[in-house]
Amino acid sequence: DIQMTQSPSSLSASVGDRVTITCRASRGIRNDLGWYQQKPGKAPKRLIYAASSLQSGVPSRFSGSGSGTEFTLTISSLQPEDFATYYCLQHNTYPLGFGPGTKVDIK
Amino acid sequence: QLQLQESGPGLVKPSETLSLTCTVSGGSISSSNYYWAWIRQPPGKGLEWIGNIYYSGTTYYNPSLKSRVTISVDTSKNQFSLKLSSVTAADTAVYYCATYPYSGRNGWVALDIWGQGTMVTVSS
């Protein structure tokens, strides 16, 4: 199985901050990666697919990059509605696997 | 626009079988452009992929659950279902269904549309 790790596991940030979350795969997954935002009591919402393609309707302050084993999600200017938990998902190889999540809260 | 809705009992007794259904609206479950997925999330924890099914019946399961999981599709009802046998308290979770779509340019892409989720508690 491909193991997914995320760093940091949590972070505190202020509105307007630039935030970067990293996701690493235990072996290469090309660009078969998505990023999700999840708020309490809600289903995950896809932000990024194919590692760097922005989901329709998602603000442009969100961006994704990377290929192979290392990927990043960047929020260029954190907004109040961005406080949430973020997950990566690899779908290159079965079993599909999520990262453990990064919780972004208010500093 | 596709929408998914999970349904099923919210309480299951230990050792029994958990059964959930996901109803697809706004599109056909027989579309060749989707796999259909089940994912779960224990309270306060992360997401775990359970398995996928194609309209033809082809399935992929998480090896950690494979011996207890069956996913099936009913094209006449535009639904797919999850059965998880011999449940324990560790199976208490919110269960989600989701689409695993094909995007011509990018091939299969990350899980896209999710249902709202349904909480299942395993308790006597």
What span, in angstroms and rounded, lies between the C-alpha atoms of B96 and B114? 7
Q: Chain A contacts of B37, Cβ < 8 Å? A: 96
| Interchain pair A50, B103: CB under 8 A | yes
Write down the pLDDT at residue A106.
87
Question: Which residue type is seen at A71?
Answer: F
- Residues of chain B in contact with residue A45, where contact means CB-CB under 8 angstroms, are 114
Look up residue A85 and give its two tokens. Answer: 């938990």
Sorted by sequence, the CB contacts under 8 Å of residue B17 that are 6+ apart come out as B83, B84, B85, B86, B87
The confidence score (pLDDT) of residue A84 equals 97
Per-residue confidence (pLDDT) for residue A90, from 0 to 100? 98
- Distance (Å, rounded) from C-alpha B117 to C-alpha B119? 7
User: Mind listing the pLDDT tens digit for each residue in B39-78?
Assistant: 999 999 999 999 999 999 999 999 999 999 999 999 999 9
HSE-CB of B82 using CA atoms within 13 angstroms: 31
One digit per residue, the tens of pLDDT, for chain A of length 107 reads: 999 999 999 999 999 999 999 999 999 999 999 999 999 999 999 999 999 999 999 999 999 999 999 999 999 999 999 999 999 999 999 999 999 999 999 88
Q: Look over chain B and give the mean of its residue pLDDT values, rounded to a whole number.
A: 97
Q: How far is B100 from chain A (nearest CA, A)?
A: 9
CB contact under 8 A, B108 and A91: yes
Q: Contact at 8 Å (CB) between A24 and A4?
A: yes
| Beta carbons within 8 Å of B115's beta carbon, 6+ residues apart | A43, B3, B4, B5, B6, B22, B96, B97, B98
In A, which residues are within 8 Å of B112 by CB distance? 46, 49
Q: How far apart are CA A78 and CA A17, in angstroms?
A: 5
Q: Which of chain A's residues have a Cβ under 8 Å away from the Cβ of B61?
A: 95
Alpha-carbon distance A47 to nearest alpha carbon in chain B (angstroms): 9
Neighbours of A107 (CB within 10 A): 9
Interface of B with A (CB under 8 A): 37, 46-49, 52, 60-64, 96, 100, 103, 106, 108-112, 114-117
